[in-house]
Structure 1
Amino acid sequence: MQFVIFKLGEEHFAVETDKILSINDMMTITKVPKSPEYIKGLINLRGSIKSLVDVNLLLNIKSEKEQNNIIILKVDEEEIGISVDEVEEVIDIDEYKLQKLETHNTEGYIKGVIDLEGRLLTVIDIEKLLNH
């Protein structure tokens, strides 16, 4: 399985690459009045307008760091951007390394964790998170 690893605050997260269309540097964000708090605004990516979601708010993570990257995802036939502090790498990880968290997974969007050389990666089901 191939994953994109990114940071939010001090935590590492992973998302499967099959949902990811592109990884971009931060760009101009146009605010949308009266939009939900988790919508940062709209971005213009090569002439295509996309909603930008603040994934920190959805995951309830406090981060004072500047967000440097936008990950464009395909969710339910819609292209959505999520802002992250930093995309670190794209790696192949054997599926057997994914440890399920059935007993503690009350949210449903956490697929499990991967111990990657001492770094704990939380693997999230981005569709479930964005539809939550």
Structure 2
Amino acid sequence: MVHLIVFRLGTEEYAIRIDQVKEVTVTPGITRMPRTPDFVKGVANIRGDIIAIIDLEKRFNIRPNPEKAELTTSYTLVVEADDYSIGVDVKEVPQSLNLALTKIDKAPSFLQDVSVSENFIEGIAKTDNRLIIVLDMHKILTQDEVSQLPNL
């Protein structure tokens, strides 16, 4: 079994393994930082830690869902990698999902981003009539992008 945190980007469902998520919280006030990539919304104070908040819709070039555009509350998934912590901003309350590992298929190679050296799509989960793209958050950012994150 694998435990996933499921959220929406645009109109599609995405997931992250729960062991990659430190916490889920209502997104606090975000302070925009100069000279950061456009998908970095800024930094926020989450439980005393200042972390970069990223917008995966912008990172992946996904058109936002117009029905969710007027939502004022968003949520942040705090992800810790070995050498950085980031917050992933999502519009809806993330859901928890337990799924058998056999329900996750490898993503077809043509779906991988050729500009990223490591594949950040771990697979595609099939449950009921849903397809959920499972991301490996530790491979989402390139080393260059990590170096551009605000170091606070």
Task: Return the TM-score normalized by structure 1.
Answer: 0.91
Aligned equivalents of 1:71, 1:103: Cα separation in 2: 27
Q: 2:134: which partner in 1?
A: 123
Q: How does 1:11-50 map to 2 (within 5 A)?
A: 11-50=12-51
Pair 1:9-2:10 in alignment = yes
Paired positions, count? 132
SS class of match (1:18): helix
Q: Which amino acid aligns with 1:130?
A: L
Report the CA distance shift for 1:9/1:102 in structure 2 as closer, same or farther (over 3 A): closer
Could you list the structure 1 runs, at least 4 aligned residues long, displaced by more than 4 angstroms after superposition. none
Q: Which moved more, 1:102-111 or 1:20-29?
A: 102-111
1:51-75 CA deviation, whole Å, 9 max, x = no partner? Answer: 1111111221110434611100011
Q: How does 1:73-84 map to 2 (within 5 A)?
A: 73-84=79-90
Q: Which amino acid aligns with 2:100?
A: D
Pair 1:111-2:112 in alignment = no
1:6-46 CA deviation, whole Å, 9 max, x = no partner? Answer: 01121100100111000011210001012111110000012
Task: Return the TM-score normalized by structure 2.
Answer: 0.80
Report the CA distance shift for 1:103/1:36 in structure 2 as closer, same or farther (over 3 A): closer
Aligned equivalents of 1:40, 1:46: Cα separation in 2: 18
Q: How does 1:83-102 map to 2 (within 5 A)?
A: 83-102=89-108
In angstroms, what is the RMSD of aligned CA positions? 1.6
Percentage identity across aligned positions? 27
**Would you say the 8 A contact 1:2–1:93 is kept in 2?**
yes
Aligned equivalents of 2:123, 2:110: Cα separation in 1: 10
Aligned equivalents of 1:8, 1:83: Cα separation in 2: 10
Aligned equivalents of 2:108, 2:82: Cα separation in 1: 25
Aligned equivalents of 1:19, 1:47: Cα separation in 2: 20
